[in-house]
Amino acid sequence: MIDRLARFMASRWYWLGLMAGALLLEIVALFYQHVLNEPPCVLCIHARLWVLGILFAGGLGMALRRHGWGQVLAQSVLIVSLVGLLERSWVGVQIERGTYDGACGMDPGFPVWLPLDAWFPNALQVWTMCGYSPVMPFGLTMVETLVYGSVLGVLLASLGLVVMVIRRR
């Protein structure tokens, strides 16, 4: 079973699946923003960047899938991206429920030398304050859906990393 899982994770289908999933998440976010007129907050923009990290991990894994160290590196980038997405999503849930002790402004916090919101305003510009995310199918809000998906992703990706390391021994 472990060998079968390790072979799948070394295949192009695993990494292409990650990339396709990340692209799908970005498309859904942009659909909600531009078609359903749900403006993004700063946490939404940060979540989109973490999803781009998942896309990057998939591309890295695709390029380095024939090298054990490359698989471990890409899987580690995936886990970091999923943990970042989980953290941003969890803050969003806390803000929606009124339990967050802090402020959420309009500044995305990009460095002066990397103004992503100016370069890609239709995708990475903050349009509204935090406090509300749209309801998705099954009655969950968008940030609740991201929390559940991120937790599942972190668990599966961590299991995958363990399998990769065990297989390398």
SS3 141: strand
Residues in contact with 129: Cβ distance below 8 Å, sequence separation at least 6, in sequence order = 41, 104, 105, 106
**12, 15, 71, 95, 164 from 66: Cα distances, Å:** 10, 12, 8, 43, 12
Going by C-alpha positions, the residue among 94, 97, 96 that lies closest to residue 133 is: 96
Q: Read off the pTM.
A: 0.91
The crossing angle, in degrees rounded to 10, of helices 12-34 and 2-9 is 60
Residue 27, classified by CB atoms within 10 Å of its CB into exposed (0-12), middle (13-18) or buried (19+), is: exposed
Domains in the chain and their CATH numbers?
2-99+125-168 (1.20.1550.10)
DSSP category for residue 135:
B
Torsion 141-146-147-149 (CA) sign:
positive
Q: For position 169, what pLDDT does the model report?
A: 62
Q: For position 62, what pLDDT does the model report?
A: 93
Q: pLDDT below 70 — which residues of the chain?
A: 168-169
